[in-house]
Amino acid sequence: MTARDARLALRVRITEIFHSLQGEAASVGSPTVFVRLTGCPLRCSYCDTAYAFHGGTMRTLTDVLAEVARYPARHVCVTGGEPLAQGEACRALLALLCEHGYAVSLETGGALSIAEIDARVSRVVDLKTPSSGEVVRNDWANLDLLTAHDQIKCVLSDRVDYEWAAEQVRTRDLGARCTVWFSPVHRRLDPRRLAEWILEDGLPVRLQLQLHKLLWGEASGH
């Protein structure tokens, strides 16, 4: 068995694979295939994909690639749950998707290392804010691994979260590392208020609204 065959035989636990518009981050609005992996070590207070914590189906990477290829989109987003909790199999999936010519992004909660991920992947790291209940789980070493190709997301519930995130942006010079998104928790923080705060403080960040929720409603997790 070749090294490539061995990678293709690896198995990941999958909650769902589906075709939709990207609702967040740099490729927002782009037709995208979402590969949602099962399981997450975090329990954020505002999580909208708790259904991915358990269950799922074990599938080979060969099977996953074949299903992704059924759709016309050339963007693929590997998400969760927490994809990196599946270790080597997740990293192999990301690399194989890149090798097949897809534009690939990874959505990760930031508690696990983003090292050893294919450099062609745009790593979207969710920097956990105080209201998440998981701020102590942030792996700050990940920030040193970020490039201009990557992205940081801060999900904000209130002014406390905003002040905390703004401090991280300033003291760690996050805007110089990569694109930084400030995203209001749906129905908890008024996006207009967040926009005003960003403008008042002149932060080098971008406001992010969840397009999928605007299009398909609050229950939409993609």
- Mean pLDDT, residues 175-186: 96
The total number of residues shown for the chain amounts to 222
pLDDT > 70? residue 8: yes
Q: What's the pTM value of the predicted model, to 2 decimals? A: 0.93
Single-letter residue type at 135: V
Buried-state track 169-199, b at ≥16 Cβ within 10 A, e below 16: beeeebeebbbbbbbbbbeebeeeebeebbe
Q: How far apart are CA 106 and CA 78, in angstroms?
A: 5
Q: By percentage, how much of the chain surpasses pLDDT 70?
A: 98
82-109 confidence digits (pLDDT tens): 999 999 999 999 999 999 999 999 999 9
Q: Which residue has the tokens 């949602």?
A: 36
Q: How confident is the prediction for the chain on average, in pLDDT? A: 95
Residue 47 confidence (pLDDT): 94
Single-letter residue type at 103: A
Q: Where are the domains of the chain?
A: 3-216
CATH number of 3-216: 3.20.20.70
User: 202, exposed or middle or buried, with CB in 10 Å at 0-12, 13-18, 19+?
Assistant: exposed
Residue 89: name the closest of 6, 24, 148 by CA. 6
